[in-house]
Structure 1
Amino acid sequence: MFISCALAAATLAGVPQAIAADAHKHDANTPALKLNAGSKWQTDAPLREGMTKIRASVEPKLHAIHGGRFTTAQYETMGKAVDEQLAYIVGNCKLAPEADAVLHNVIAELSDGAEVVGGKKVVDDRSKGVVHIVNALNSYGQYFDHPGWKPVKAGH
């Protein structure tokens, strides 16, 4: 049986994204990141597409971020791009329930990073949000089967 990624979040409809992401992090029913009996979890085309686009909105910019040459407007654009792809993933991917539950950890980390990068969550340094996004992208690659996916190099 397969369910939509949105189904697990249905009870969070209408809740601000920060609260929804926080609820995913602290939901006792959400399993920690883990493999599927030693194998990576299966993905579907919408999930792979969304994650590829998130990566493309972040990875090429890491050098500028690391060098301190990234503007507030650029951070906001990045946050919006990540948010848009998260909405696409949540609305379109259909995974087995166990895989979906594990994916919610990755989504929560991406959402938290997007909030920091986009300025919705105030911190002293927006690049801290990029760290969350990169960590989530790398966790995704470690736990989900996405052909050709390679770890994001933070110092890229």
Structure 2
Amino acid sequence: MKSPLALLLAVALSSPFAALAAADAHDHGKSSPHKLELNAGKKWGTDDALRQAMSTIHASVSQTLPKAHSGKAKVADYEAFSKGIAAQVAYIVENCKLEPAADEQLHIIVADLMSGVEAAEGKEGEKQRASGVVKVAQAANAYGKHFDHAGWKAIKMPH
């Protein structure tokens, strides 16, 4: 996963919208998927690096989401959350090695994670920080529905 996502991550850390463009640009002559799909009805394979990073992301979201939803999260909470999620995405890019079709699907998750990071950082406005945490939670839940990760539990979304 180093080569296709290295560029994606570098760009994603500055702008998730540019990350989507980078993902589209690195498509080897075929269109990038814009919608998550299962692998012929089954979940995509994962590796230890991906499972480790996504477990850390899950824990971070599970801790931050209730504070964000209740309006009790502070700017420092959002900054720590964003930094932690971005670090896990960087870890995925550096260490995760999936087969090409699964990697393409993971690009969608990564772009969604980074979009959430940008919102949580306040780049879409201070009032959108909580929605960034929700975006990361939604991306994590999408990962759990489409990737084989033993013991994965969906993150409970606030009502």
**TM-score range normalised by the length of the shorter chain:** 0.7 to 0.9
Pairing 1:113–2:116 present = yes
* CA separation of 1:153 and 1:98: change in aligned 2, threshold 3 A: same
- Superposed CA RMSD in Å reads 2.0
The alignment status of 1:29 with 2:31, answered yes or no, reads: yes
Q: CA deviation at 1:25?
A: 6.5
Assess, with a 3 A threshold, how the Cα gap between structure 1 residues 56 and 14 changes in structure 2: closer, same or farther: closer
Report the counterpart of residue 122 of structure 1 in structure 2.
124
Residue 5 of structure 2 aligns to which amino acid in structure 1?
A
Match for residue 9 of structure 1 among 5, 8, 12:
5
**Contact 1:22-1:108 within 8 A present in 2 as well:** yes
Aligned pair in 2 of structure 1 residues 87, 128: CA closer, same or farther (>3 Å)? same
Paired residues for 1:5-84 under 5 Å:
6-12=2-8, 15=11, 17=13, 18=15, 19-23=17-21, 29-31=31-33, 32-84=35-87
Q: Would the aligned equivalents of 2:8 and 2:22 in 1 still touch at CA under 8 Å?
A: no
SS in 1 for 2:128: coil
Partners of 1:107 and 1:91 lie apart in 2 by 13
Q: Residues 113, 149 of structure 1: CA spacing in aligned structure 2 closer, same or farther, 3 A cutoff?
A: same
Aligned to 1:134: 137
Cα deviation, residue 115, structure 1? 1.2
Q: Does 1:89 align with 2:92?
A: yes
Offset at 1:122?
A: 2.6
1:13 & 1:70 partners in 2: Cα distance? Answer: 27
How far apart, CA to CA, are the structure 2 residues paired with 1:112 and 1:13? 12
**Counterpart AA for 2:92:** I
Which one-letter code corresponds to 2:32 in the other structure? T
Equivalent-residue separation in structure 2 for 1:138 and 1:13 (angstroms): 21
Query: Which structure ranks higher in relative contact order (CA pairs < 8 Å, sequence separation ≥ 6)?
Result: 1
Q: Contact conserved, 2:12 with 2:18, CA < 8 A, in 1?
A: yes
1:48-78 superposed Cα distances (whole Å, 9 cap, x missing partner): 0000011111112222211110001110000
Q: Which position in structure 2 is the counterpart of 1:153?
A: 156
- What do the CA deviations read for 1:5-24 (whole angstroms, capped 9, x no partner)? x2213555754621542325
Gaps of 5+ in 1: none
Give the fraction of aligned pairs with identical amino acids, expressed as a percent. 44
Q: Give the TM-score of the pair, scaled to structure 2.
A: 0.86
